[in-house]
Chain A
Amino acid sequence: MSIESDVQISRPRGRLIEARNVVKSFGQTPALRGANLAAESGEILAIMGPSGSGKSTLLHCLAGIFTPDSGEVWFDGRRLDELSETARTKLRRTAFGFVFQFGQLVPELSAADNIALPLLLGRTGRKTAYQKAEAWLDRLGLANRAGNRTGELSGGESQRVAIARALVTQPKVLFADEPTGSLDSLAGEKVMALLVGVAREEGATVILVTHDARVAAYADREAMVRDGLVTTPSDAAMAR
């Protein structure tokens, strides 16, 4: 997989998700200045870059959370940026999964509730939703924590619940933004191994934002974001 140039190209086959010349600003502050990035189905892609480079914004644009000011975002043959908020919401529920550094779990709910939540939102039957949630808890070694609220879980356990919740709907893409940012290195490695392992088993594409080279090492490929643009690792190395 090659890093995209700024030249507009037709969408090649095999690319599941793609950002083309994406520009995004917050007020007067530009975050992305024409970023291009694509990921293939089943690929694990790490987006790296210094703080404030725009890597999280790029991830949010790819996930349909932010709408680009200009440029295009494609997912599975459809222009994501042209979809309505309702359609993008549905996509987030059915085709995407998310694991963030913290704050993505609902503290009022138990671990099982949190995992079942996306299924319940999608009107899956209650019984089925909880059966799947329990299966995931079992798979990630959290069977004995099903009834615990998130405040009662350790950081690593919380992230494992988040991974289960992200994958319970069998998404095509799993977005992870600094998934180990709040963990120590040992717990972080365990979480990453688990995340990559189950994602591969599920066949999900993983787009991973991190500034940690050890986390990025779990990826099939790395992309570097600097000043709102995606550059190749070699480019980044040359710049250094």
Chain B
Amino acid sequence: MFRLGLRLSLRGGREALVRLVLTAVAVAVGVAVLLCVLADFHAFQVSNNRPCWECTASAPRNAAPASAELWNTSADFYQGQTIERLDVAALGAHAPVPPGISRLPGPGQYYASPALAALLRTVPRDELGARYPGTLAGTIGNQALTGPGELVIFIGYSPSHLAALPGTMRVDRIAAGPGKQVWSSYFRYAFAIGVLAVLFPILILIGTATRLSAARREERFAAMRLVGATPAQIGVIASLDAIVSALVGVLLGFGVFALVQPALANAALIGTRYFAGDVTPTAAGYIAMLVAVPVASAIASLMSLRRLQISPLGVSRRVTPPAPRFGRVVPLLIGIILFVAGLAITNNKSIGAPAYPGLIVIMIGLVVGGPWLTAQAARVFSRLVTGASALLAARRLADNPKAAFRTVSGLVLAVFLGTIVAGLVPAVNATTATPSANALSNVLLDAFGGGGPGSPGMAPRAGATLVSQLRSFQGATVIPVYALPQPRGPQGRPPDVTPGDLVRSGPQQGQPYDSIITCAGLRQLAAVGQCAPGVAAVKVSAGNLLYSDNPTYSTQAIASPSSPAISGRLAKYSLGAVLVKVSNATTLERVRTFLDTHTTQSQSAVPPKTYGEAVQIRIAYATIVQRLVYIAVALTLIVAGCSLAVVVGGGMVERKRPFTLLRVTGTSLATLYRVVLLEAILPLFSAAVVAAGIAYGISVLTVDRMAPAGTPMPMLGHVYYLTLGAGLLASLLVIVVTLPVLGRLTGPRGVRFE
């Protein structure tokens, strides 16, 4: 029986070969997509599990100097990218060596990651290289890096030099375990959801491909049953057929994946490029694919043969499935009610969690209710549009809306998820990238002595020199922020603050004044407030606003016409911070390099960065989520497009006889084309419109309930329309490409049926 089954699959003539190739190609697309997702997930896990040398803790005081070193880690920025910096000084011959290098850099040496080394070679020294004293001793190996694009530098110092820097600690052991990453589990879930979102349409694709030309195969199997083949024997033959196609498809999918793997490694799906060697599924993933896909195909094939157990006459007496009832929409309605109710009881702590079950039920409801929507669309369509093609298409859709919708169900879910994300993410970003934050996007902040209330700042003379030097940069406008001495209580008691020392209005009401800013400077930073006319400088409470790394707070007004004026020479005050407004990226990096090298390193708790960079860091995670969902939507569209092609092509082969008869009796080929197009477009668009509508409604409700007042209502951006439009267009093109097959199938030679 195995031999017969294999013979039918592999040497069953042209039609069997075409079916095998089509099925294998469809399975290959699905397998390649899944392998891409698994590969990126594997790379993500490897990256997360790399030794977290940055997590190294300080050693006990009694650690032996011979096996210890001084260690100071900090962050730096270049063109919005973060540079991880380790300043290190060996205390003895056995000082531990961080991963990725063979020995510690000596004073005047540094090791850089390959990406940073490349930058250092190409970028002018005064924009980057000058920040790092010494010469390049070598590159840092992969063990210390999350990916080839990561910017890391290990700089060697003498112990006496490094010991003088704030934040330096003594280390005798370098952390080797994986780091605790706040976002890891978040991305793991996102990946899991992504895999599920893609898996569903892929299973549909594999199932559809396996059942390609099912009706014609069923006739053959019925003929075999007629001469005495048992259902088990038919099952073996059908399973073998499916397994052979799936196996060929899986192997083909491995090949496709090997072709796209380099591009995938460079794709930086979640903002990080991984090492190409890590962007690969595990051996278990490959084996699972090799086993699971053929098994799934065999199951799909066996399920499609259930009808043959009824009679050896096969499909000669097919019972029309009952029309879907309104009850199918009930889960969708329940989901909407659950979501709205969940949203109503959510608060800042639950961040929408009560609404999640409703969201899941809505997704289930869309899949369950899809056939009913398809049937209704077909009914409305047949009433609105007259003509033979509309009649034929609507009749077939109404006959089996479940099958018609099954093909596009994955796509509809993709539209649903894509629309929610496209609506919510820009709204979330809008709360961070406020107009004020955008107005300050090119303003660099460097705070000294920790910044904030009570910080000593930079000595007046040094501060004045620094400001003067900064003003010499072309394209840089410098706004000094002076530290206002804080009132102190006797013998360390709480400060003896008078009402006149407290802010009287605005967001900082009740906070003590901690800074002085010139009104000329404020005019350069219109977003943070203005002085009263004729005033030279004012007291402000900038600590919790200006120095915050949250743009939502850091860009609120700190000054107003009611801010207390201050007169006299400001040069007598310590310099708390400088705000440097830069005109271009080159000036930005020159100023940053200057600040890095001319202020004591680590004196500022936060490395100098612009408010624009702070905004980008804040919204990066939301952007990554948006990108992941768009990728899932794009992959789903590809897979759903393949499903459509398989179904449309298979449907043409199965209906060769009626289509040929229609054509020989005078129906034009154009009419048949319209029938095929309508059968695919109608369920796709009707369900997609409903899904997008519900998803957009969810976005609006969520923003209305959870976002701060004044957050703009979600607007679907051009990326959304481009992604969905391109995907839907690609799906239609796939169908159009299959149309010439219809012309050949229904030609005069097709009149003779065997």
- Considering the complex, give the chain A residue whose CB is closest to the CB of B314: A103
How far, in angstroms, from A108 to B11 measured CA to CA in the complex?
A: 8
Q: A108 touches which one: B13, B227, B317, B319 (CB < 8 A)?
A: B13
Q: B754 touches which one: A100, A107, A165 (CB < 8 A)?
A: A107
With A103-B223, A118-B228 already in contact, the answer to whether A92 and B8 are too (CB < 8 A) is: no
With A65-B311, A66-B311, A102-B754 already in contact, the answer to whether A121 and B13 are too (CB < 8 A) is: no
- Considering the complex, give the chain A residue whose CB is closest to the CB of B216: A107
Instruction: Find chain B residues with CB under 8 A from A107 CB.
Output: 13, 15, 220, 754
With A92-B312, A108-B16 already in contact, the answer to whether A117 and B224 are too (CB < 8 A) is: yes
How far, in angstroms, from A60 to B311 measured CA to CA in the complex?
A: 10
Closest-CB distance, B384 to chain A (whole angstroms) = 32
Instruction: Find chain B residues with CB under 8 A from A109 CB.
Output: 7-8, 12
Q: Are B13 and A89 in contact (CB under 8 A)?
A: no
- A74-120: which residues lie under 8 A (CB-CB) from chain B? 85-86, 89-90, 92-94, 96-98, 100, 102-109, 113, 117-118, 120
Instruction: Find chain A residues with CB under 8 A from B219 CB.
Output: 103
Q: Are A65 and B313 in contact (CB under 8 A)?
A: yes
Q: A89 touches which one: B3, B16, B230, B319 (CB < 8 A)?
A: B230
How far, in angstroms, from A113 to B230 measured CA to CA in the complex?
A: 18
How far, in angstroms, from A172 to B1 measured CA to CA in the complex?
A: 25
Instruction: Find chain B residues with CB under 8 A from A93 CB.
Output: 227-229
A interface residue count range (under 10 / 10 to 19 / 20 to 34 / 35 or more): 35 or more
Instruction: Find chain B residues with CB under 8 A from A104 CB.
Output: 223, 226-227
Instruction: Find chain B residues with CB under 8 A from A126 CB.
Output: 3
Q: What is the interface of chain B mostly: helix, strand, loop, or mixed?
A: helix
Give per-residue flags for A150-182: 1 if the beta carbon is below 8 A from chain B beta carbons, else 0. Answer: 110000001000000110010000000000000
Closest-CB distance, A61 to chain B (whole angstroms) = 12
B273 within 8 A of A: no
Give per-residue flags for B292-335: 1 if the beta carbon is below 8 A from chain A beta carbons, else 0. Answer: 00000000000000000101110001010000000000000000
Most buried by B among A66, A90, A100, A106: A106
Residues of B within 8 A of A (CB-CB), count: 29
B385 within 8 A of A: no
Q: Are B311 and A106 in contact (CB under 8 A)?
A: no
- Considering the complex, give the chain A residue whose CB is closest to the CB of B222: A103
Q: Are A121 and B227 in contact (CB under 8 A)?
A: yes
Q: Are A108 and B312 in contact (CB under 8 A)?
A: no
- B212-238: which residues lie under 8 A (CB-CB) from chain A? 219-220, 223-231, 233
How far, in angstroms, from A86 to B312 measured CA to CA in the complex?
A: 12
How far, in angstroms, from A86 to B230 measured CA to CA in the complex?
A: 7
Q: Are A65 and B312 in contact (CB under 8 A)?
A: yes
B520 within 8 A of A: no
B75 within 8 A of A: no
With A65-B312, A107-B13, A107-B754 already in contact, the answer to whether A121 and B229 are too (CB < 8 A) is: yes
Closest-CB distance, A221 to chain B (whole angstroms) = 25
- B423-465: which residues lie under 8 A (CB-CB) from chain A? none
B66 within 8 A of A: no
How far, in angstroms, from A197 to B175 measured CA to CA in the complex?
A: 92
Closest-CB distance, A28 to chain B (whole angstroms) = 12
Instruction: Find chain B residues with CB under 8 A from A113 CB.
Output: 7
Instruction: Find chain B residues with CB under 8 A from A108 CB.
Output: 8, 12-13, 15-16, 220
A30 within 8 A of B: no
Q: Are A92 and B226 in contact (CB under 8 A)?
A: yes
How far, in angstroms, from A86 to B233 measured CA to CA in the complex?
A: 11
Q: B220 touches which one: A97, A98, A106, A151 (CB < 8 A)?
A: A106
Instruction: Find chain B residues with CB under 8 A from A121 CB.
Output: 1, 224, 227-230, 233
With A103-B223, A109-B8, A150-B754 already in contact, the answer to whether A90 and B313 are too (CB < 8 A) is: no
Q: Are A106 and B15 in contact (CB under 8 A)?
A: no
Instruction: Find chain A residues with CB under 8 A from B754 CB.
Output: 102-103, 105, 107, 150-151, 158
A122 within 8 A of B: yes
Instruction: Find chain A residues with CB under 8 A from B225 CB.
Output: 89, 92
- Considering the complex, give the chain A residue whose CB is closest to the CB of B227: A118
- 28 contacting pairs across A/B (C-beta < 8 A): A27-B319, A60-B313, A65-B226, A65-B312, A66-B311, A89-B228, A89-B229, A89-B230, A89-B312, A92-B312, A93-B229, A94-B228, A97-B227, A98-B227, A103-B223, A103-B754, A104-B226, A105-B754, A106-B224, A108-B13, A108-B220, A109-B7, A120-B1, A120-B4, A121-B229, A149-B13, A150-B754, A165-B227
A residues bordering B, Cβ < 8 Å?
A: 26-27, 60, 65-66, 85-86, 89-90, 92-94, 96-98, 100, 102-109, 113, 117-118, 120-122, 126, 149-151, 158, 165-166, 169
Known: A85-B309, A107-B754. 16 other contacts (CB 8 A): A27-B319, A85-B231, A90-B228, A92-B225, A92-B228, A93-B228, A102-B754, A107-B13, A117-B224, A118-B227, A121-B233, A150-B754, A151-B754, A158-B754, A165-B227, A169-B228
The 3 closest A-B CB pairs, nearest first, are: A93-B228, A108-B12, A118-B227
